[in-house]
Amino acid sequence: MKVSMRCIFALIMLAGSATFADAMLFDGSKATISSTAITADPENADNKTARWNPRSGGSWGMTLTPEFKDWSEFSAFQFKMYSAKADNHEMMLSFSSDPEGAQGNYYFKKFKLDWTGWKTFALPFSEFSKSRNPVGWSKIDKISFNFKGWGMTPNLEAQYHLDDLLLISGSSKKN
């Protein structure tokens, strides 16, 4: 079989320009986030969300163990969060990335809870700071939405909802 150089070049170009699909981590369809309850969306009863309530044992926050841990082919993390009240408390989103036998290595970003209703965040990995020595985006062990610690105090009256946690595909890779 004779293959021309033009054909080989075209195949290489196609392979090099391939993009990866976005990956849904949570959409309300399964109870995979700890310290939460799966409940109806406060604005659409047909949609299910993860609800955090500090009085029901979730005073630190919500955690999710992702199905797959290699995020190196993605460039951003997207999620929707609902707040009934703009209470101006803080939260910290973190992604654990521990070397074998170690703990406390993660990427993080803090937010002010200063909105009402649903808000969608699309956060490039390049916007996250590092704590200690995370392995990299190729090994994400846990996702945490923290409302206590790191100088933060939770609003004990708050009830926040999470939905549509998604990895966004892209070519920007950061370790």
Domain definitions of the chain by residue range: 21-169
d(CA 24, CA 47): 16
pLDDT at position 32: 66
Task: Yes or no: say if 106 and 153 are a contact pair by the CB < 8 Å rule.
Answer: no
pLDDT at position 110: 97
Q: Which residue is it, tokens 């036998």?
A: 101
d(CA 135, CA 146): 21
Q: Tell me the β-bridge partners of 122.
A: 78
CATH number of 21-169: 2.60.120.430
d(CA 164, CA 22): 12
Task: Yes or no: say if 35 and 60 are a contact pair by the CB < 8 Å rule.
Answer: yes
Q: Which residue is it, tokens 């990995």?
A: 125
Where are the strands (E) in 19-73, listed by range? 23-26, 33-34, 37-40, 48-52, 61-64
Task: Yes or no: say if 147 and 78 are a contact pair by the CB < 8 Å rule.
Answer: no
Tens digit of pLDDT at every position of the chain (175 positions) = 444 434 333 333 333 333 457 898 888 876 566 667 888 999 999 999 988 877 665 568 888 888 889 999 999 999 999 999 999 999 999 999 999 999 999 999 999 999 999 999 999 999 999 999 999 999 999 999 999 999 998 888 888 999 999 999 975 444 4
